[in-house]
Structure 1
Amino acid sequence: MRVLLLGANGYLGRYVADRLLADPAVQLTALGRGDDADVRFDLASGSPGALTRFMDAVHPGVVVNCAGATRAAARDLVRHNTVATATVCEAMRRSACSARLVQIGCAAEYGPSQPGSSTAEDAIPRPGGPYGVSKLAATELVLGSDLDAIVLRVFSPVGPGTPAGSPLGRLAEAMRRAMQSGDGELKLSGLAVQRDFVDVRDVARAVHAASLSAAQGVVNIGTGRAVKLRDAAAVLARVAGFTGNLHELDAPPTGPSGRPLIGSPRTENGLVDHLAGGGPQGPANPPPYPDGCGIWQQADVRTARDRLGWRPRIGLEESLADIWMEAACRI
């Protein structure tokens, strides 16, 4: 099976490449903006015609699109997430290879969810920020393309290589600094936010399964379990051997039921707002990883199980241990 991997140099793309290369039946060609890609090509600025000619030469049976941006200005998010996907779809429609498209989407397309609920693929998307908007537009382009296509809506990927701008990446870096300086207390804020963390290696397995399946449409990729950042922080402290105190500076506002208020400006982007220097009225500067998903997100993963035969295998503690191993190397 010939596979063309787009965005092979990114966080997800690197693990997808490793997973595909482990399959002896796969012949992989990596396309990306970095020097280590087999072919250098910028989807945000390249023409569909040039990509079509390349596809006709390689003649892949599957195209996997991991390309995109998560932290950028709105204009750049549209270029790298939406325009780039439009280029891929147009090139595939023009190409004679009749390839299958596996598109990487994200949970930010859904936007905030009701605490305690699981978000299924038929939920009405209401993205709460430009990142989710740009990715949702890309998904709509794929679904309306008449291609043989599947969109994997990945929830919160974690594990080795976790970007420093993500909530757990920033948490690990804060703990590293505390241990390096000998601080006995780590002061953190916004830890009430809950996310469905799925290991990046499990995401790569899902991409491999989607490449081999005939499933189409949107499929959630997560664990089906939301975890509070404060609980993740406690696990990270244990695996790191941090014996000091974790001091939470504030708690999210609650309603009459005692549940956090989703719409509160102090919790709308959770940990990242507070680490970006926000006060009671929200962040002083744009947060570095604004997913716009409110205080809660949890995936309904039954479709992935039933249509792809996929289940997550790697637990959060193992993912956090791998994140810490990388952070500890900088001490």
Structure 2
Amino acid sequence: MRAVVVGSTGFVGGHVRTGLARRGWHVAALDRSSLPDGDIVRALAGMIAVSPPDLVVNCTGATSGSRTALYRSNADLARDLACAVAAAGRRPRLVHIGSAAEYGAASGSRPCAEVDEAIPLTDYGRSKLEGTRRVLAAVPSATVLRATTVIGAGCGGFVGAVCRQIAAGAPDGTVAVGSLAAARDLVDVDDLVAAVDSVARAPAVHGGIYNVGTGVAVELDLVVARVRAVTGFRGRVVTGRVPGSGRSAAVVSQCSDIGKIARDVGWAPVTPLDASIRAVWDQACASTRTHVDRGGRACPSHSSPVPTAGSAVPPRSGWPTAATTSSSPHGG
């Protein structure tokens, strides 16, 4: 089974590349930085023409920038990559990584389901929704995985920022965060990779949208408590000093119904929140070469370095070598 991961230098894309390889896929990575002309769409079309893969996973995208930049990365590029797949004589399966931000806010206490009307609240969410629509218009058999907040080694966002501050020895034992008046459905990146693998192998899946999350919204103050428990941090956490993320600040509660993917392919998340936080923490420590133990002392990290999103996957024979290295700055 051969796969092309487009956008594999990003957080999600890097984990998809290495995770699929661990699951037995022969993986090639494709990104702008590895191409002389940066034309990732033409490169994908060429790869498909020379040696058609079984699977193409689109992990490209931008999480910040102007409205124009977001639409260019999340909608225009998604459409163009899908059109390259659609034009193939032997069409590979296409999996597109979408976002729960396409829904907007959860309705009351009920998680968002795939059949719910999507009313995104940010330019990021609107651009991702437009990307989903364009992908499915070009390739109706494509599968869109609407992921909730994805965390794991090398992630950004709230958990990544807090762990990096602690690992760097936050000044005066203080960590600055934005508002904690929100709740997020936090899914581990390895569970997202498992979802990609599951839908790609499932013969009964013929396209459409699937939510990928945990089905549980965790309040951010409880997330901070779990970060404290995992890292042993005993300093102060000061709220309101950091602006919220432009892609999700307007969303108070995020939670997705994962019943459909469970029924259709038998996928379910298996990684506990503490294990996800531990992976983020270990990577932060590996990056700073310090570790705050449970006594609050700075000392050499005792954790084994976690592979970063760009860790190399040894190429295997029989696959075009021109695209077997790294990927796009917009990945993930």
TM-score, normalised by the number of residues in structure 1 = 0.80
Distance in 2 separating the partners of 1:40 and 1:4: 19
Tell me how far apart the structure 1 counterparts of residues 231 and 171 of structure 2 sit (CA, whole Å).
15
Query: Which AA in structure 2 matches 1:275?
Result: V
1:16 aligns to 2:16 (yes or no): yes
- Give yes or no for contact 2:82–2:139 (8 Å, CA) kept in 1: no
* Count of residue correspondences: 286
1:307: which partner in 2? 264
CA contact (8 A) 1:109 1:127 kept: yes
Q: In structure 2, do the counterparts of structure 1 residues 322 and 55 end up closer, same or farther at CA, with 3 Å as the change threshold?
A: same
Q: Does 1:85 align with 2:78?
A: yes
Native 8 Å contact 2:101 2:247 kept in 1:
no
Ranked by relative contact order (alpha carbons within 8 Å, sequence separation 6 or more), the top structure is: 2
Q: Label 1:234 to 1:96 Cα distance change in 2 as closer, same or farther (>3 A).
A: same
Q: Which of 181, 194, 208 in structure 2 is aligned with 1:192?
A: 181
Superposed CA deviations along residues 71-116 of structure 1, whole A, max 9, x for unmatched, are: 2222111111111111112112221121111010000100112342
CA distance in 2, matches of 1:203, 1:133: 22
Identity %: 30
Please give the alpha-carbon distance, in whole angstroms, between the structure 2 residues aligned to 1:108 and 1:199: 17
CA contact (8 A) 1:108 1:292 kept: no
CA RMSD of aligned residues (A): 2.1
TM-superposed CA distance for 1:225, in Å, is 0.5
Residue 71 of structure 2 is aligned to residue 69 of structure 1: no
Pairing partner for 1:211 from 200, 220, 225: 200
Secondary structure at the aligned position of 2:210 is classed as strand
Select between 72-81 and 298-307 the one with higher mean Cα deviation. 72-81
Instruction: Write the mapping of 1:1-331 to structure 2, written as runs, cut at 5 A.
Output: 1-24=1-24, 26-35=25-34, 42=38, 46=40, 51-163=44-156, 166-176=157-167, 179-183=169-173, 186=175, 188-213=177-202, 214-215=204-205, 216-246=207-237, 274-276=241-243, 287-291=244-248, 293-329=250-286, 330=288, 331=290
Query: SS of 1:192's equivalent?
Result: coil
Q: What are the superposed Cα offsets for residues 53-88 of structure 1, whole Å, 9 maximum, x if unpaired? A: 331112112111111111222211111111111111
In structure 2, distance between residues paired with 1:186 and 1:161: 19
Q: Name structure 2 gaps, 5 residues minimum.
A: 291-332
Deviation at 1:172, TM superposition (A): 2.1
What TM-score, normalized to structure 2?
0.80
Any idea what SS the aligned residue of 1:144 has?
helix
SS for the counterpart of 1:34 is helix
CA contact (8 A) 2:162 2:175 kept: no
**Cα offset for 1:315?**
0.9
CA contact (8 A) 1:9 1:34 kept: no
Q: Report the secondary structure of 1:325's partner residue.
A: helix
